[in-house]
Chain A
């Protein structure tokens, strides 16, 4: 067991864990941040996507040791009140069915729009192709990303 320091949703935090414990379970069980979901445990479905220093990563296959002294943002840290344009667009387009994969979808979409405010369709596809949705909400995800792009543009 080792003591790790990391920034989670803007706050400096510490956790004692074995080096190979996945960030997913640290977030869910050590910090009670349950918005990040377990789907496959193998980096295949994207339900556990969070930002590590701004990059979307699969927290189920990211060891806590590689997140040490870095900054993690989970779905809970995206905004205080659901006001991120991506969250607003997701509600507006009524994307979610069961909703289980949506935190991961939203984290992938926000990471995309942060580095590329007006992505092409091809770029959206590339950024989102690692996030599975069994309910089949893809069409609305596409629409919501487009709407979020417009909302962000208007914000500026």
Chain B
């Protein structure tokens, strides 16, 4: 048994400060990681003699606000003065900090216990140091922002003056945590700590990194998925001023770790500047062998899905009651096919990475969500042991899942090693759009049954897709996991259910995309539910509430969710939106909700059509229960962002493929919502004492069905294929 004392180290450092490190031994960390609930985080707290508290943030920030919310947890328990807190980004060192990825809305959830504990540990030691200095009992002392006080004698000491004494003290086993009523920082809107740098242009993003002597590289990649390089003529490229090297990038032979995308074959142009590299790439002449990928298209994919949907050998992922009998006996049966497209991440900062490979090791500067993954990739490409690979984490201009992967890291590492210099590989927008790790497309064939009283008695769904797991892990898994919604409402509330899954082959690479499978599944669930409610002549909100029934826990992927909290957000959003009141003429209203990514969210959308028949979202009213809210401004920003991200996908998002190549290339054919289209947003958080969950993703899944349910309310047209854009919505 390892006690906490054994893995908390305190060391005095030069300059009179001290550092507190919580270190989780390797074997414990691995055990925790396997449970995928997130290992304990560890952090450094450094207090300088002049009272500056420097907090090292273990997780990357891609806009989700980890660099603000995680230090808030530490600073509150430390009782620090927030204006004296400075934030530093941790390099990769999971033996020191615990798990360091940013994904699965996990940063706050996983940091809640260990980061508060780290703050409380440091606070306890500062109090103890003051008590010893004054010769009083620690229990007579208290802390205020940045100071220890002894009220009986009126003495006070700033943290900076106590830090070096505190560093010599034993580390407490179980320092007391604050009563939540005493929180001063947690629960208060706190501005993005990087905002002052961002507004003057000094925040350093991945693309801004520049170690001395760095060269820039762009890569011409196989235009067809899985294509091979036959030959290339570098002479014209080498004639471009500033171009230094042109070399083959044999991506297809890299032994990428499991769960990383394959690296396409390519030709790298390395130059003094990005512009020279781009000009050089334009001048390249390359011959490709397209290979079997050339037969791939999204049209062919849909045809494959349709054929597979009628085959009789799917994997059954949930079966309740007797679906065949229930459908036969149903008073009313509804059939529907839903199709969801492949989607790109389209984060504003295209992929990029700096690597410097020498004989001594490899150093990486990456805007990544997954620094440990970057190290694994670099180890695979260089053959170096992990301890020779250093990873510095840079701010990401958006991630949304794409930066979880290390294909661009592999390119930078390979090119740097080949040319013997630090190299930044820069993807253009077109590279980024055409070589993605796309949200999997899905084909859902549904049939539902209602009884005479309008209750749902049968729900049959067969999902056909090409999963992300098989794209990236590449090994064919016998039994699928995680593609469908077998635990999501209304599963478990309908007596006869059969959920089936069939996987089809596809060369289009798939990966994590904000809210992962829930981004598709919740659309289907909440849309078809609305269809059944409308067919039964029932109000879709009332029908949800009556089915949810008494508040209780329900099973959910090995854990539980609480029906009372789902009901809570539905009721709150409905009340705020005045659900049930007639909408003005020309306005449709829709509702949808989900428990996804550990957050309960309901949206009510009001939509109208403009003169051209294009839907205009007028207002979104949202209710969110993500437990205790650490940073209200940041949490609300994530909900705002998820709504816009989800509406963008619902209205416009679609990646199509022809002859093995992605058709879309830039924001003209993969459009994003604009300021002009931004609806009124009215977001309500449920007050909660439950420990916080993440909110980077959970508000995304129900926004698309809330929109299309509103479109149905307005027009009578049921949108079952996304995106909405381009479909005729009048005259339903």
Report the Cα distance A98→B400, complex, angstroms.
Answer: 11
Do A97 and B637 touch across chains, with their CB atoms under 8 A apart?
A: yes
B589-647: which residues lie under 8 A (CB-CB) from chain A?
Answer: 633-634, 637-638, 640-645
Q: Given A45-B348, A98-B397, are A136 and B202 also a contact pair (CB < 8 Å)?
A: no
Contact residues of B: prevailing secondary structure:
loop
Do B199 and A90 touch across chains, with their CB atoms under 8 A apart?
A: yes
Minimum CB–CB distance from A60 to chain B (whole Å) comes to 10
Most buried by B among A41, A81, A97, A125: A97
Instruction: Note all chain B residues with C-beta closer than 8 A to A35.
Output: 200-202
Instruction: Note all chain A residues with C-beta closer than 8 A to B275.
Output: 21-22, 25, 29
A24-65: which residues lie under 8 A (CB-CB) from chain B?
Answer: 25, 28-29, 33-42, 44-45, 47
Instruction: Note all chain B residues with C-beta closer than 8 A to A33.
Output: 201
For A47, the closest partner residue in chain B by CB is B348
The interface size bin for chain B is 35 or more
Of the candidates B200, B203, B674, the one whose C-beta lies within 8 Å of that of A79 is B200
Q: Does A142 contact B (CB under 8 A)?
A: yes
State the interface size on chain A (CB cutoff 8 A): 57
Do A98 and B675 touch across chains, with their CB atoms under 8 A apart?
A: no
Report the Cα distance A147→B645, complex, angstroms.
Answer: 25
Most buried by A among B61, B63, B274: B63
Most buried by B among A81, A99, A131, A140: A99
For B216, the closest partner residue in chain A by CB is A29
Q: Does B134 contact A (CB under 8 A)?
A: no
Q: Does B571 contact A (CB under 8 A)?
A: no
Do B645 and A136 touch across chains, with their CB atoms under 8 A apart?
A: yes
Do B637 and A42 touch across chains, with their CB atoms under 8 A apart?
A: no
A93-107: which residues lie under 8 A (CB-CB) from chain B?
Answer: 94-103, 106
Do B63 and A78 touch across chains, with their CB atoms under 8 A apart?
A: no
Most buried by A among B63, B198, B346: B198
Of the candidates B194, B199, B634, B675, the one whose C-beta lies within 8 Å of that of A129 is B675
Minimum CB–CB distance from A80 to chain B (whole Å) comes to 9
B348-400: which residues lie under 8 A (CB-CB) from chain A?
Answer: 348-350, 395-400
For A92, the closest partner residue in chain B by CB is B191
Q: Given A37-B349, A132-B348, A136-B640, are A42 and B196 also a contact pair (CB < 8 Å)?
A: no
Report the Cα distance A45→B196, complex, angstroms.
Answer: 23
Instruction: Note all chain B residues with C-beta closer than 8 A to A134.
Output: 346-348, 398, 400, 645, 672
Q: Given A34-B208, A39-B429, are A140 and B640 also a contact pair (CB < 8 Å)?
A: yes
Instruction: Note all chain A residues with C-beta closer than 8 A to B199.
Output: 75, 82, 87, 90-91, 96, 102, 106
Give 25 A-B contacts (CB < 8 Å), ordered by A residue: A21-B275, A29-B273, A35-B201, A36-B201, A37-B205, A42-B666, A45-B429, A47-B348, A76-B200, A82-B196, A82-B199, A90-B198, A91-B196, A94-B195, A96-B195, A97-B192, A97-B638, A98-B397, A100-B349, A128-B675, A129-B674, A133-B348, A135-B645, A136-B641, A137-B637
Interface pairs A-B: 7 shortest CB-CB:
A35-B201, A136-B644, A98-B63, A100-B397, A75-B201, A97-B63, A99-B198
